[in-house]
Structure 1
Amino acid sequence: MKKIITILLFCITSHYTFAQNQIEMATGLRSSGKIYVVVLVLLTIFVVLGVFLFMLDKRIKKLEK
């Protein structure tokens, strides 16, 4: 549990530090509205990967039985 809290705190603080440094590419993507496309594509990839891993886990458990 302590490891999870530590990782979450690290992610939050690093995100805050990263957000303060304005990156020109991100500013350009944000101003043109393309950042939402990038976020949507990344979210889709992570969701598909999560579903794939979940289904793979179910198949492996079935084979173990």
Structure 2
Amino acid sequence: MRNIKWQGLIAILLLLSTRLSAQAPMNDDGPVQMADALHANGKIYAVVAVVVLIVVGILIYLIRLDRKITKLENEA
């Protein structure tokens, strides 16, 4: 039974990896067009702000969760 779970997990991971290889190769010669366009329009700062907010939110959530788990462990 245990081997079937591992085989299923490996099969799923292999199927997901084929989607990752379907991307177009990047040229090392030219600049990244999306980053240049975002920087030229001034929207890169909005993208960075959103990413920072998401990371900070995840960190705060994990810290609060750790405190709750520690409190439950101490009560038991």
How does the TM-score come out when normalised to structure 2? 0.57
For residue 49 of structure 1, the aligned residue among 58, 61, 71 is 58
1:58 aligned residue: 67
CA distance in 1, matches of 2:38, 2:48: 11
How does the TM-score come out when normalised to structure 1? 0.67
For residue 46 of structure 2, the aligned residue among 37, 49, 57 is 37
Percent pairwise identity: 41
TM-superposed CA distance for 1:33, in Å, is: 0.2
Unpaired runs of 5+ residues, structure 2, are: 1-28
CA distance in 2, matches of 1:45, 1:31: 24
Decide which structure has greater helix share. 1
Unpaired runs of 5+ residues, structure 1, are: 1-19
Cα deviation 1:5-51 (Å, max 9, x = unaligned): xxxxxxxxxxxxxxx96200000000000000000000000001000
**Larger Rg computed on CA atoms:** 2
CA distance in 2, matches of 1:52, 1:61: 14
